[in-house]
Amino acid sequence: DVTLLELMDQDEIVTECKSQNKKLVD
């Protein structure tokens, strides 16, 4: 089972990855 906290953490990681990718592209 995946807890809500784990989902939040994962979402945060995904958001951070997208942020890093945008920085690399720019």
Secondary-structure breakdown of the chain: helix, strand, coil percentages, each rounded to the nearest 5: 85, 0, 15
Q: In the prediction, which pLDDT does 16 show?
A: 92
Q: Alpha-carbon distance 9 to 3, whole Å?
A: 10
What is the predicted pLDDT for the residue at 15? 93
Tell me, what's the pLDDT at 19? 93
| Whole-number pLDDT of residue 23 | 84
- Determine if the pTM surpasses 0.75: no
Give tens-digit pLDDT for 7-26: 778 889 999 989 998 888 87
C-alpha to C-alpha distance for 25 and 5, rounded to whole angstroms: 30
